[in-house]
């Protein structure tokens, strides 16, 4: 068979979809070589990337006349150019590694990986006509796909409930994190990262994006209460709150204006904003934290908590959406709308060394259940049976 793959997001490796794309391709190459697969694969790209490919995996890089990387180009590339080129290339099956606007000719079987349907559940994300148009096209493409791979049971349920997709058309397949999170952080890397961001071990960490649904404001307000009530018992060594993520106050109300909130709560000296952190530095950021606090109100999967678990960092997260599927019994859960509950759970982790040790061990053990090899094998098995 000739199998096409939308690998466009290799150009955005710091996004969740970018990570899915890159790791899928890495494991596909390994399995292609070790399993002696006879299929031919074609990777469809908007930009080329540096990865050695076997003879049976080729790449096709193309763009529309409109070169700016925005929704106009995205729709033009996915919806109009891509189906024509896939048909011309004679693909039998096509894999979209994220939910997109692509609808293919009937003779080309289409498997689409769906991360989430956040715009359907949170309409505030559709705050202009171009976004609404893109999502409308995406819903139609999801419906037209021959098979859907949902990255969690929560996403599967959302597809059935909100987009009325038949259950028999959906398979659930869990993601994994990049290999960098599975490796032990070296002494040199650890020292370099701490020095770069001017951090001392033991801080409380929150990262994974500053979208309002990530609930960063609740983390800051919980930290304020925690500090006001319990800091005296730490004899002047109460840990700082470290927050990563690109600060974009102009994007409010979609993005939390964390600096404004910290000023209002008189926490400018207690909270350390470290901005965007490249992936090569993130394992050390997790490793040196006393806990990772992530009370997100909705996630299609929740890669950040799995990243933290791999590094043995105690995790506090929300008991909503897909997060319990990832965390299992290895993390502590809170009601994301109850700040006082979050305060008490944070206090317990901060003051109980045995609890931190237990969560660390459970997290690392739980993380072993997730595997890119399993993910790729399941996708290819579905492809074989389309």
| CATH architecture entry for 179-367 | 3-Layer(aba) Sandwich (3.40)
Q: Which pLDDT score is estimated for 32?
A: 73
Residues of the chain with CATH 3.40.50.2000: 2-176+371-384, 179-367
Q: Which pLDDT score is estimated for 35?
A: 63
Q: Which pLDDT score is estimated for 64?
A: 94
Please state whether beta strands 203-206 and 289-294 pair in parallel, antiparallel, or not at all (unpaired): parallel
Residue 206 β-bridge partners: 243
- At 144, is the secondary structure helix, strand, or coil? helix
- At 363, is the secondary structure helix, strand, or coil? helix
Superfamily of domain 2-176+371-384: Glycogen Phosphorylase B; (3.40.50.2000)
Query: Model pTM?
Result: 0.94
Q: Which pLDDT score is estimated for 322?
A: 97
Q: How far, in Å, are 87, 176, 307 from residue 247 at the CA level?
A: 42, 27, 22
Nearest to 172 by CA among 147, 150, 146, 143: 150
Q: Which pLDDT score is estimated for 244?
A: 97
Sorted by sequence, the CB contacts under 8 Å of residue 91 that are 6+ apart come out as 2, 3, 4, 42, 108
- At 193, is the secondary structure helix, strand, or coil? helix
pLDDT mean for each 10 residues of the chain (386 residues): 96 91 93 74 94 89 94 96 97 97 96 97 93 97 98 98 97 97 96 97 96 96 94 83 89 88 95 96 98 97 97 97 98 97 96 97 98 95 92
């Amino acid at each position: 068979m000739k199998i096409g793959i939308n690998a466009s997001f290799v150009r955005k490796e710091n996004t969740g979809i970018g990570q899915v794309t890159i790791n899928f391709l890495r494991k596909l190459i390994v399995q292609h070589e070790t399993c002696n697969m006879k299929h031919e694969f074609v990777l469809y790209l908007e930009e080329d990337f540096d990865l050695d490919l076997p003879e049976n995996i080729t790449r096709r890089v193309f763009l529309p006349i409109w070169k700016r990387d925005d929704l106009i180009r995205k729709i033009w590339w996915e919806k109009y150019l891509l189906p024509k080129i896939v048909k011309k290339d004679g693909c039998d099956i096509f894999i979209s590694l994220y939910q997109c606007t692509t609808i293919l000719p009937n003779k080309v079987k289409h498997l689409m990986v769906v991360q989430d349907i956040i715009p359907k559940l949170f309409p505030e994300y559709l705050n202009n006509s171009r976004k609404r148009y893109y999502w409308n096209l995406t819903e139609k493409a999801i419906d037209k796909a021959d098979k859907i791979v949902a990255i969690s049971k929560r996403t599967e349920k959302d597809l059935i409930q909100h987009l009325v997709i038949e259950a028999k058309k959906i398979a659930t397949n869990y993601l994994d994190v990049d290999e960098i999170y599975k490796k032990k952080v070296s002494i040199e890397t650890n020292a370099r990262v701490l020095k770069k961001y001017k951090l001392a071990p033991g801080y409380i960490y929150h990262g994974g994006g500053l979208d309002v649904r990530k609930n960063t404001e609740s983390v800051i307000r919980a930290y304020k209460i925690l500090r006001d009530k319990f800091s005296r018992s730490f004899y002047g060594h109460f840990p700082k709150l470290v927050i990563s993520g690109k600060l974009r106050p102009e994007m409010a109300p979609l993005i939390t204006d964390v600096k404004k909130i910290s000023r209002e709560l008189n926490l400018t000296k207690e909270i350390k904003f470290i901005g965007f952190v490249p992936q090569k530095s993130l394992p050390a950021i997790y490793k040196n934290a006393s806990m990772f606090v992530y009370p997100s109100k909705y996630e299609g999967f929740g890669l950040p908590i799995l990243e933290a678990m791999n590094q043995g960092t105690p995790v506090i997260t929300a008991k909503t959406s897909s997060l319990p599927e990832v965390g299992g019994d290895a993390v502590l859960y809170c009601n994301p709308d109850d700040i006082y509950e979050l305060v008490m759970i944070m206090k317990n982790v901060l003051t109980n060394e045995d609890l931190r040790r237990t969560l660390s061990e459970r997290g690392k053990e739980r993380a072993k259940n997730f595997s890119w090899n399993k993910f790729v094998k399941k996708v290819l098995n579905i492809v074989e049976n389309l």
